[in-house]
Structure 1
Amino acid sequence: MTHQPTETPQFYLTAPAPCPYLAGRSERKVFTHLVGERAGALNDLLTQGGFRRSQNIAYRPACEGCRACVSIRCIVDAFTPTRSMARVMRRNRDLIGAGVTASPSSDQYNLFRRYLDSRHAEGGMSDMSVLDYAMMVGESYVDTEVVEYRFRGPDTAITGHGEGPLIATALTDVLADGLSMVYSFYDPDYSDRSLGTYMILDHIGRARKMGLPYVYLGYWVEGSPKMDYKRRFRPQEHLMARGWLRVD
């Protein structure tokens, strides 16, 4: 009898559920667990193959007859911000992001809760408790960090950290070939600052300083208005049937 190694990943398929992006369609996902000493290497490999991480699960769409979800990544060295992106950077130059250990805090959860209630009250994450949030941030076997954005203070040049209330947060995986933005959220009172765009621009700058070629932005879904923003960060690569294809 042939025995499978205990660290060989096992993949599973979910039952059909309503698609959160395209009305009238259903979705299925294939997923596996990211646990053990090889979780980081597996996360790298699967992310490069179009998977996304949620807690200790790596998943990707496996919908019958639909390939609308396209995994995309920004090409860091070739990226040049548009005029509107440059304005976003100037508008937020009084903020600074500090990478900290991926550990949940009450400040993070309070901001997360306000963001969901304001922007995604009917979404799939709307009923997440503080324990759910703690598991999302703190229970990870891969190299991940939290980037906390606050206003610059008089000691920022020394400490590298901001001061005052938490304005925005990004949960980010550090991969061998890039940064993968797992989830980000911000204070809805500052929605005029385009903080979602700002955090992506900041991560592109972070990846450039780290010598990493890509920032993974998750899935772009043609026909879904809430996904259109991801197409703005060009040049980028789309994962197609024959591999990653550059889109300028």
Structure 2
Amino acid sequence: MHIFQQAQTEELTDCPYLDDQRKSYCYFLASRVDEGEMSLLLAEGWRKFGLYFFRPECPTCRNCIPLRVRVADFAPSRSQRRVLKKGQGLEARFGPLKLTDQIYELYRRHSEGRFDQASDPEDFLYNFYMPSCPGLQTELYYQGELIGAGFLDQGCDCLNSVYFFYDPAFAYLHPGTFSILSEIEYARQIGLAYYYLGYYVPGCMRMGYKDHFRPREHYNWKSGIWTEVKGPPEAPVTVQ
């Protein structure tokens, strides 16, 4: 691993997930992160975009919970099986990072159509096409037409979901859920133990879809231990 900037803590800003909370990230900049180092960082709760590695250091909240699926134990739920059945015309393909105009156009439409946000080509390149570790690109096709794409980091024992986007016109096929199910299955096929799905935030509706992938493990920031979660969603935690 080559570190460009040692770890430091950002100033507090408004939390994008929970009202009335303030967030701060500990972050560093690095490249040439190998598969073993990537697995270790993910197992300690780090996330990344491009060269930017981060994890929350919020003074009053510990609700960004790292989540990973145990690939060998996972089986789709009834609702997820319905998504697979409805998406019989969908196909996920995996390969090296490859930027095209069509990929960026999908990202632009997704940003504007789903979040009413303008896209920035430079941010897109920095976040997804300036790799700091081994990575893969997911491409999702419907009846031969590219309708979605995403990015995965690869560790020695895991895949890590970085981001996925799709044409909003195909939202009725639940391409986000389909892509996660496909990526979990791909991790199984290549013999990996875990699939990381970022942070789960109890109480945040935007993160609610992550609660449907079970059994899974959550990381405890205090103990540094991963524990299996089977029951209902956890209540938000406030740090006194």
* Alpha-carbon distance in 1 for matches of 2:167, 2:77: 24
For 1:23, which of 16, 19, 22 is the aligned residue?
A: 19
Q: CA RMSD in A?
A: 1.8
The unaligned stretches of length 5 or more in structure 2 are 231-240
Name the count of aligned residue pairs.
228
1:195 is matched with 175
Alpha-carbon displacement from aligned partner over 1:50-93 (angstroms, at most 9, x marks no partner): 11111111101100021011000011111111111001011112
* Alpha-carbon distance in 2 for matches of 1:27, 1:62: 7
Structure 1 residues 212 and 135: CA distance shift in structure 2, 3 A: same
What is the CA distance between 1:38 and its match in structure 2? Answer: 4.0
* Alpha-carbon distance in 2 for matches of 1:228, 1:143: 29
What is the CA distance between 1:103 and its match in structure 2? Answer: 2.6
- SS where residue 72 of structure 2 aligns? coil
What amino acid is the match of 1:217?
L
**Any conservation in 2 of the 1:149–1:168 contact (CA below 8 Å)?**
yes
* Alpha-carbon distance in 2 for matches of 1:119, 1:128: 12
- SS where residue 180 of structure 2 aligns? helix
What pairs up with 1:94-105 in 2 under 5 angstroms? 94-105=89-100
What pairs up with 1:84-103 in 2 under 5 angstroms? 84-103=79-98
2:228 is matched with 246
What pairs up with 1:1-248 in 2 under 5 angstroms? 10-35=6-31, 37-38=32-33, 40-121=35-116, 126-152=117-143, 163-164=144-145, 166-240=146-220, 241-242=222-223, 243-248=225-230
- SS where residue 10 of structure 1 aligns? strand
* Alpha-carbon distance in 2 for matches of 1:149, 1:201: 12
TM (norm. structure 2) is 0.89
Identity of aligned residues (%): 30
* Alpha-carbon distance in 1 for matches of 2:96, 2:173: 26
* Alpha-carbon distance in 1 for matches of 2:158, 2:2: 28
**Any conservation in 1 of the 2:35–2:154 contact (CA below 8 Å)?**
no
* Alpha-carbon distance in 1 for matches of 2:2, 2:82: 51
Structure ID, larger Rg: 1
Structure 1 residues 86 and 6: CA distance shift in structure 2, 3 A: closer
**Any conservation in 2 of the 1:178–1:214 contact (CA below 8 Å)?**
yes
* Alpha-carbon distance in 1 for matches of 2:186, 2:35: 20
* Alpha-carbon distance in 2 for matches of 1:75, 1:167: 28
* Alpha-carbon distance in 2 for matches of 1:180, 1:9: 23
The list of structure 1 runs, each at least 4 consecutive aligned residues, that deviate by more than 6 angstroms after superposition, is none
* Alpha-carbon distance in 2 for matches of 1:245, 1:6: 31
